[in-house]
Structure 1
Amino acid sequence: MGTGAATGTIAGLGGELTPLIGRRAETARIARLLSGARLVTLSGTGGVGKTRLALRVAAEAARSAFPDGVYVAELADLRDPELLAPSVLGTLDVADPGRPGADAAAVLAARLRERRALLVLDNCEHLIDACARLTDALLRAAPGLRVLATSRQPLGIAGEQVFPVEPLPVPDADAGHGLRVLSGNPAVALFVDRAAAVLPGFALTASDAAVVAELVRRLDGLPFAIELAAGRVRSLTPQEILERLTNRFALLTRGSSVAADRQRTLRALIDWSHDLCTEPERLLWARASVFRGGFDLESLERVCADAGLPPAALLDALDGLVAQSIVNCRHAQGRSRYHLLETVREYGHERLAASGSLDTLRARHRDRYAELTARAGQEWFGPRQVDWFTRLRLDHPNLRAALEFCLERPGQARAGLALAVTPRHYWMTAGLLSEGRHWLSQLLAADHARDDGGDPADPADPDGPDASVRLQARVTDTYLRILQGAPEADVRHALAACEAAAGQGDHRRESAWVRHHHGILAVWREDFANAAELFARARTEFRTLGCLDAALECRVKFAIAHAYGGEAAAAAEACGEVEEAARAHGESWLHGMALLARALLALRADAPADATAHARAAIARLRPFQDWWDVAMCVEVIAWSTRDTPRRAARLLGVLHLLWESLGGRLGAAPFMRTQHLRLDAEVREALGAAAFDREFRRGARTTVDEALAYVLDDAAGVPGLTKRESQVAELVAEGLTNKDIAARLTIAQRTAENHVERILGKLGFASRTQLAVWTYEQRGEPPGTSGGRSPR
């Protein structure tokens, strides 16, 4: 989701899966605080419900108080303070600015400067200093911005209003326990609601009312603790839960005397839940804590199964943990994905560390994601390209965790480099330029330090596999620097060093990439003839090496260079070659680039309708990869093609402002297009007049990326809507039904179902059924796959 212009637009906030109980008064008080204070921090112990409360306030505020949007940044999986600002940028649907550190904060400030918006920073406590610095900078730069933070401690900056989130009220021990009175108590109501969810038909009765009242009192009204206890009614009565809880609290009195009571209570409850697990369940709980942000069954088995926990036992243990609500399970596209609440994960992590097995499991975890990225690299040029990109983005927190391990443990930097460079296109197409450079630069530095230290394990062979990995990382790092807009002199120096290193061994592939990178620099200088020659030479080398995907990438960039300033016939021939190969292999990204080249050729031939058609087709191919740089170039083509309709052109110029700002807050993200862009801007402004131009421009700039692209892709220049029948078909695709299944369900011909699906994909600018399924879930306001459907085919 992205930045919002319309009231009610929310980014990063899904629908509530369970009701929020007993927080109506707090919600109103926090909303009043936000109306006067620019920073409100919800503080309190873990498990008290800060996140749920903040998300409810945000959802209600989006309807009226913040016309430019509400953005939710979940920080629990983030560990490195340097990645804070880039991560928040992603929440705003602003692509990585391509520059590390403070530049990302500057782009955020620029994006929010003139907006009345709410930014929710959730789980700040482990990044408290970085969150404080970023929040202070954003509030100073953006006078219309409000920030709602959740943290176990305040941020500690000027103007902060701290709202302590207390546990839910519990029944007075001296009061009566009548059903009417207790049913209205928030803590009791929460227990009953969650118990009924795991044991249908559960209800508060006169016989157990006093027991439940005592139980929630012993749990201090902590929502998380109450929910864990309620999950046990599947196998225990409230009285049995209370008895076991009492015993565990007695043991806790021998713990730390400096821990807060409620923290001890929560730990006691988790200790109790842990003790109720079988030994295989405890073992799996600890081992699964090495995952971040979720995991699938295959990854769980590869990392956690061994002789001590064979696959069959692991599956039974997993089922038990899911049944006990220790592990959460969701279904997405016909596959199960699992998740540990952060408090539960941290508890398991402590157990794993205490067992002495932490490094062993983290190494297995690293190896698993190294294997996945290697497979993604091998299969990138093919029909699974979009699927692999989606998979890597879903597992991005796990990739981060694996890279962190390689940085933290001596001698692991080279393995981290291998992980960071495969597949090569991930950092570039995912809008993660800064983060890619962050990992590569740190790992290269750590690897260099190992070399300087004379590690005897480091091979001396300049042509060995380890040397090749290091050189590949240096070449990739340099390419990211080019895309970041680094000074050309610095980049040329880096490329010369890479070329020299490639010459010391037989590193012909890396040498060819260096030539490709020089071609990119030539395009930046508008030296299109030299660029085309460099791409042609690199392509020849890649073909000799049997690297078809790299050869075709050079071929399509050869076409783009000629489309801008060279031979049109040569560009058209190259486009045809790339399109034919892409279709033969089921490839999407290079196909999209070839369509962009065709759009440029049509624009050059003064064929605006053809240029627009090719550019829209290119966007449909490039959009799944979040390749906003090339998507913006397509929109440039469409804007030029519609200059005879000034209002639409002005709005498209606003969309371009949104996209280029997303890429770093500067129009110069495509320097060779600057002159024609400014000329179009002046021409349309003169045709409309300043006031009308500014109005249309703002309509394009103050929108989400999804809404902006819907406008770009719609022939009627409006947001594309689905008919009732098309909406039915989209829902069935999201459930995983095939065209044949859809035809049977709706009693229509299979060909008619196929036509509906193709028309829907075209309207929304999607290239796959998986994208349509994800979009459908987003319209519902729920995570993908909560209906438990099969994988869309």
Structure 2
Amino acid sequence: MGTSVRSSGNGNLPAESNTFVGREPELARISALLGSSRLLTLTGPGGVGKSRLALRAAHAAQPEFPGGVWLVELSDLQNPDLLTNAVAEATRLAEQTLRPLLTAVCEHLDNGPVLLVLDTCEHVLDECARVVHELLAQVPQLRVLATSRQSLGVAGEHLLPVTPLPVGEHSDAVTLFTARAAAAVPSFALTDATRADVAAICTRLDGIPLALELAAVRLRGFPLDRLLQGLDSRFDLLVSPARPRLARHQTLRTAIGWSHELCTPLERLLWARLSVFAGGWDVEAAEFVCHGGPLDPEEILALLASLTEKSIVTRESSGVAGRYRMLDTIRTFGADWLEGLGEQDAVRVRHLDYFRWIARQGEAEWLGPGQRMWAERLSLEHANLRVALEESLAAPDPGTALELTGTLWYFWFACGFADEGRGYLERALRQVPDDASGHTLAIWAHRLVTVVPEDVEAAESVSAAYVWLAQERRLPVPALPLTGASLAVRGESARSALLYGSSAQAPGVGGGAEFFQLLTLAVQAYLLAGQGAFERCAVVAERLRVDCATRGELWMRAWGDFFVALAGIGLGRPQDALRSARRALAAKWRVHDRFGAAAVADLLIAAEAVGGEPERAARLLGVGTRLWYSAGLPQFGDTETTVFRREYARRLRADLGDSAFTEAVREGRGLSAEAAIRLALDGLPDEADL
């Protein structure tokens, strides 16, 4: 198979970046508690290693959770109201539903034994407690492993305090420091001559893993005895005679502060300014947001490299487009420093300006060869987009928020974040008068992400809103038969035939205008197929494919492939239909369109059945159910909900017999979303053909 669909197993756990040291008793205790307790929270101060311990325990627990092990990182989440969205995103559930999102998440996770790891809960504690309570009530086979500086306070919660590593000459703290020191300075080795100094450093740092790792990196610039002396003198300044031992949180902050003092003034300034980012950043973003005063953009790459060497910043990937991030504790230290410098507001404004520019560029290039890149880039920048949106909504002039939320229509609609987009658009629209700049765009975007396939009234409102938008921008208005499409979904083909009209040309100016030009063709093809006019459907669908191919566009072109395949089934050409449907599915998956992927998977059922592969078609019936759950629309995966699935379930059961049919469907439904896609794409040509 020549696709780029990538499996990460049934879950999303990242690989461990370096060796894990010690914690055998804690790991054994976590394993036992996950078997007996549905909610386990690892508690302890920052830097003590809660997140790393949870990740290690989650990796070890994977065989016990065939339904998936999912990590939800919450440190970058500023708005508690988006916690459910964060869970949906981490578990790869598209938000294309008007039902309560938490209900959709519960249904999505109700797929056998599942472990959900909620990392860094303390700053969204109340919402974590509410969501966890609901998840545990609605998903019987769910276990939750949380990390937090305090308990969630949910009934049945079991707490496991995480303490620093044991210290002493033969302790885990010494082992960890030695491993990290050898990684920083390959010539370093623990010997009888150095063991006492290493143990003294570990004792001085109270065995706190983050403090040990920061100290170990300093061996690049100091011999071991100088490192110990530096720690002693630095700590002595902060210890009062009446308090001979530092509290652990003060120890960590002092260790970070000591690393801060060993940075150059420009490195400290960059550290502080980088703290405005959430979820990481690339070099271009750092150069735009962090330049100014003594910090030239041309210096930032070298300074990032220096901060990486000091383990203040972590580089996450190789190549030109590498990304960087900071641990939450280190970022918090930088944010405090930025506030002390009085630069917080100015740097946040540059951050907002940069991501407004990113949103505009994405809209301008969405219907072009960079579409897949933009889908992936905006997914990477999702946390930063949230920061920018919250900043714009808190600004005295909310017009920026209206513009930003509206400009991101393609991200909300096409990449599976409709629920979140609705929330932001509604907040922005409440804050501005109807005659504000950008109001019409935001109204249209809101209606676009609110429409559902069976809702005629919502479809009409989207069409009306686009007419307003086109008129405001002085553009010709294309015929947009969304009302007819909604009627067709509901089986009212005769009425829909009166509504599709002609495919008047919309101008190729601006992402929204081009999008609607192409959408008009897609809807027309859909209505023609619904009326059985397959030859005409194929002509319109091929025109859509050509128009999209000219632009190098994937998302809408996949609908062209979809309708070509649909026409192929109607015309008795199953092999042609299979090729087109698989191309459509690969493209939809690449641009993170879960709704589209589920719809195409259903089409593959028909293609395989018509092509004489009933067992494979039955497996795909189960695959389609799984993908509709992933899209947040499980009702579309119910064989009794839609005429299409009900009819094919009846046919395939008759062809295979009850037992074989039931087993094939069960097999398909039990796959992870990624495995389901691999099964559906079996036999697809090389990606160069897409």
Equivalent residue, structure 1, for 2:393: 407
Alignment of 1:338-737 (within 5 A): 338-411=324-397, 413-448=398-433, 466-467=436-437, 469-483=438-452, 488-489=456-457, 492=460, 498=465, 506-509=472-475, 515=480, 517-527=482-492, 539-542=504-507, 547-565=513-531, 567-643=533-609, 644-668=612-636, 674-715=642-683
Counterpart AA for 1:414: G
| 606-615 or 401-410, which deviates more | 606-615
Q: Which runs of 5+ in 2 are unaligned?
A: 1-7
Query: 2:478 & 2:241 partners in 1: Cα distance?
Result: 62
**Following TM superposition, by how much is the alpha carbon of 1:523 offset from its aligned partner in structure 2, in angstroms?**
4.1
For residues 225-271 of structure 1, give each alpha carbon's deviation from its aligned partner in whole angstroms, at most 9, with x where no partner exists: 100110100001222222222233334347999x9911111111111
Aligned equivalent of 1:315: 301
SS at match of 2:95: coil
Q: For residue 61 of structure 2, what is the aligned residue in structure 1?
A: 61
Residue 292 (structure 2) aligned to one of 290, 306, 311:
306
3-state SS of the aligned residue for 1:421? Answer: helix
For 1:219, which of 205, 222, 242 is the aligned residue?
Answer: 205
SS in 2 for 1:292: coil
How far apart are residue 121 of structure 1 and its match? 1.1
Per-residue deviation, 1:490? 6.3
- Matched residue type, 1:108: V
Contact 2:111–2:670 (CA<8 Å) still a contact in 1? no
Name the CA distance, whole Å, in 2 between partners of 1:439 and 1:243: 53
CA contact (8 A) 2:497 2:531 kept: no
Query: How big is each residue's C-alpha offset from its partner over 1:632-656, in whole Å with a ceiling of 9 and x where there is no partner?
Result: 2222121122334432222111111
1:75 aligned residue: 74
Q: Structure 1: how far apart are the matches of 2:338 and 2:510?
A: 46
Q: 1:296 to 1:484 in 2, by over 3 A?
A: farther
How much has 1:51 moved relative to structure 2? 1.1
Does the CA-based 8 Å contact 2:447-2:458 persist in structure 1?
A: no
SS at structure 2 position matched to 1:14: coil
- Paired residues of 2:272 and 2:337 also in contact (CA < 8 A): yes
Measured after TM superposition, the shift of residue 701 of structure 1 is 1.0
Q: Pick from 131, 150, 154: which aligns with 1:153? A: 150
In the TM superposition, residue 502 of structure 1 has moved relative to its aligned partner by 5.6
Report the Cα offset of residue 529 of structure 1. Answer: 6.9
- 1:614-637 deviation per Cα after TM superposition (whole angstroms, max 9, x unaligned): 111211222211212222222212
1:97–1:107 contact (8 Å) kept in structure 2: no
Aligned-pair distance for 1:96? 1.8
Residue number in structure 2 paired with 1:186? 172
The within-5 A match list for 1:19-30 is: 19-30=19-30
| Contact 1:12–1:73 under 8 Å retained in 2 | no
Please report how far the alpha carbon of residue 114 of structure 1 lies from its aligned counterpart in structure 2 after TM superposition.
5.0
CA distance in 2, matches of 1:358, 1:484: 45
Structure 2 counterpart of 1:787: none
401-410 vs 562-571, which moves further: 562-571
Q: CA deviation at 1:543?
A: 6.2
Does the 8 Å contact 1:660/1:666 carry over to 2?
yes
The Cα of 1:409 is off from its aligned counterpart by 2.0
Q: CA deviation at 1:356?
A: 1.8
Deviation at 1:495, TM superposition (A): 6.4
Could you tell me how far apart the structure 2 residues matched to 1:115 and 1:441 are?
A: 36
CA–CA distance in 2 between the matches of 1:342 and 1:227? Answer: 15
> What is the CA–CA distance in structure 2 between the aligned matches of 1:669 and 1:470, rounded to whole Å?
36
Q: For residues 192 and 544 of structure 1, do their structure 2 counterparts lie closer, same or farther at Cα, with a shift above 3 Å needed?
A: closer
Please tell me whether the aligned partners of residues 280 and 313 of structure 1 are also in contact (alpha carbons under 8 angstroms). Answer: no
Q: 1:260–1:203: structure 2 CA closer, same or farther, 3 Å change rule?
A: closer
Give yes or no for contact 1:559–1:571 (8 Å, CA) kept in 2: yes
CA distance in 1 between counterparts of 2:348 and 2:485 reads 38
**Paired residue for 1:165?**
162
Question: Aligned match of 1:131 in 107, 128, 131?
Answer: 128
Tell me the distance in 1 between the aligned counterparts of 2:510 and 2:190: 72
What is the deviation of 1:53? 0.9
CA contact (8 A) 1:539 1:552 kept: no
2:47 maps to 47
Whole-angstrom distance in 2 between the partners of 1:619 and 1:315? 39
For residues 386-409 of structure 1, the C-alpha deviation after alignment (integer angstroms, 9 at most, x for no partner) is: 112111111111111110101122
Alpha carbons of structure 1 residues 544 and 528: separation in structure 2 relative to 1, 3 Å: farther
Secondary structure at 1:67 match in 2: coil
Partner of 2:219: 233
Task: Give the secondary-structure state (helix, strand or coil) at the position aligned to 2:160.
Answer: strand
The alpha carbon displacement at 1:489 in A equals 4.5
Could you tell me how far apart the structure 2 residues matched to 1:500 and 1:620 are?
33
**3-state SS, counterpart of residue 62 of structure 1:** helix
Instruction: Give deviations 1:435-471, integer Å, cap 9, x for gaps.
Output: 11111111111224xx7xxxxxxxxxx5xxx53x111
Indicate the larger mover: 679-688 or 268-277.
Answer: 679-688
Q: Encode CA deviations 1:459-484: one digit per residue, 9 max, x unaligned.
A: xxx5xxx53x1111111101111138
Q: AA paired with 2:277?
A: F
Higher alpha-carbon deviation: 669-678 or 147-156: 669-678
Distance apart, 1:19 and its partner CA: 0.8
Contact 1:75 1:122 (8 Å CA) reproduced: yes
Structure 1 counterpart of 2:3: none
Deviations 1:20-56 (A, max 9, x none): 1011221111101111111111111111111111111
Matches of 2:90 and 2:193 in 1, distance apart? Answer: 49
d(CA) in 2 for partners of 1:341, 1:532: 58
CA contact (8 A) 2:584 2:600 kept: yes
Between stretches 110-119 and 436-445, larger displacement belongs to 110-119
Name the TM-score, length of structure 2 as normaliser: 0.91
Whether the 8 Å CA contact 2:503–2:524 is kept in 1: the answer is no
Give the secondary structure class of the aligned counterpart of 1:22.
coil
- 2-side partners of 1:392 and 1:109: how far apart? 26
Structure 1 residue 115 corresponds to structure 2 residue 115 = no
Partner of 2:84: 85
Aligned partner of 2:424: which letter? Answer: W
Task: Please give the TM-score of this superposition, normalised by the length of structure 1.
Answer: 0.80
Partner of 1:337: 323
Match of 1:35 in 2: 35
Per-residue deviation, 1:517? 4.6
Instruction: Report the count of equivalent residues.
Output: 679
- Tell me if structure 1 keeps the 8 A contact 2:626–2:637: no
Deviation of 1:160 after TM superposition, in Å, equals 1.1
- Distance apart, 1:381 and its partner CA: 2.1
Query: Does the Cα contact within 8 Å between 1:531 and 1:558 map onto a contact in 2?
Result: no
CA distance 1:484–1:161, shift in 2 (3 Å): farther
Secondary structure at the aligned position of 2:55 is classed as helix
Q: CA deviation at 1:71?
A: 1.6
> Does the alignment pair 1:15 with 2:21?
no
How far did 1:80 drift?
Answer: 2.0
TM-align CA RMSD: 3.0
Counterpart CA distance in 2 for 1:536 and 1:670 is 32
Q: Please list every run of 5 or more consecutive structure 1 residues that lacks an aligned counterpart in the other structure.
A: 1-7, 172-181, 452-461, 721-757, 768-793
Instruction: Look up the match of 1:175.
Output: none
2: CA distance, partners of 1:256 / 1:662: 59
Q: SS of 1:331's equivalent?
A: coil
Asked whether the 8 Å contact 1:47–1:225 carries over to 2, the reply is yes
SS of 2:582 mapped into structure 1: helix
SS in structure 2 at match of 1:41: strand
Counterpart of 1:276 in structure 2 is: 262
1:536-566 deviation line (CA, Å, top 9, x unaligned): 5574344699944532232232222212225
Measure how far apart 1:518 and its partner are. 3.9
Instruction: Classify the secondary structure of the residue corresponding to 2:41.
Output: strand
Contact 2:94-2:631 at 8 Å conserved across structures = yes
